[in-house]
Amino acid sequence: APAPAPVPVSGRRAWRVVLVVAVTVVLGAGAGGGFWYVTQGRTAAAHDQVTAARSAYRTTQDPTGYSVEIPRDWTRVQRQGTKAPVISYDSPDGTRRLQIFRVSEHSPAESLDLAEHAPGYGFARQPGYRVLGRTSGPTWAELTYRYDDLDHGARRVIDHRFATADGSLYAIHVSGPESVPPALIRDPLNEAVASFCPTGATGATGAVGANC
């Protein structure tokens, strides 16, 4: 049987079809462009934040016995921990914190394991706790995790414990909102670990403080 003949479209109706299609294409392109603009804007803003953080560091000689590089304008606070002073550096907006303190266990791995699992105060007991990464080397151990803070919401934490050139053990603990670019949390830790130098250290291969 022959195929049915196409239904004729009047001139006015044809123009309506063309107009609808044209408007749809324009709106679609606009929405896509808007999405690209917003996405690119957020990416650029995050990149600018990270770049600014990386370029704004200063070296401080801490009275508790070491020099270290920390972000400029972060505020130092000292309090007495259970076994040693705990030095905190807080970002100007109060959302990120870097802490440095001495530990007394036999190795960085042992110290970190105790901090994670100790009854009553271990990291693993915090609400929403989840390990994001775990790594170690001959003279250091590091744990990255997240948890839900009752006052500040979801937080990302990196706890790095290491042996210095003189054989002392320290922890550098950095935290910040889970919503910020990870580099804004990681970079202050990397800079602090790379620059950390106990007072009077002579340097030793494979340990923090080798370039003091």
- Give the H/E segment covering residue 194: helix 182-195
Distance CA 18, CA 49 (A): 46
Over residues 121-127, mean pLDDT: 93
Check residue 207 and give its pLDDT. Answer: 55
- Between 56 and 28, the more confident residue is 56
Check residue 5 and give its pLDDT. Answer: 40
Distance CA 70, CA 23 (A): 55
Window from 26-35, 74-83, 158-167, 179-188 with minimum mean pLDDT: 26-35
Pair 71, 59: CB distance under 8 Å? no
What are the boundaries of each domain within the chain?
A: 11-55, 59-198
Residue 184: count of CB within 10 angstroms of its CB: 22
Name the CATH architecture for the domain at 59-198: 3-Layer(aba) Sandwich (3.40)
With cut-offs at 50, 70 and 90, classify the pLDDT of residue 156: very high
Report the share of the chain in percent with pLDDT over 90.
Answer: 56
Distance CA 8, CA 11 (A): 10
Check residue 162 and give its pLDDT. Answer: 97
Check residue 15 and give its pLDDT. Answer: 39
Tell me what the pLDDT averaged over the chain comes to.
Answer: 78
- C-alpha count within 13 angstroms, C-beta hemisphere, residue 132: 13
Over residues 30-56, mean pLDDT: 48
Distance CA 68, CA 61 (A): 7
b/e per residue, 65-87, with b = 16+ CB within 10 A?
Answer: ebebbbbeebeeeeeeeeeeebb
Check residue 32 and give its pLDDT. Answer: 46
State pLDDT tens for residues 86-99. Answer: 999 999 999 999 99
Check residue 121 and give its pLDDT. Answer: 85
Answer whether residue 6 shows pLDDT above 50.
no
- Between 164 and 54, the more confident residue is 164
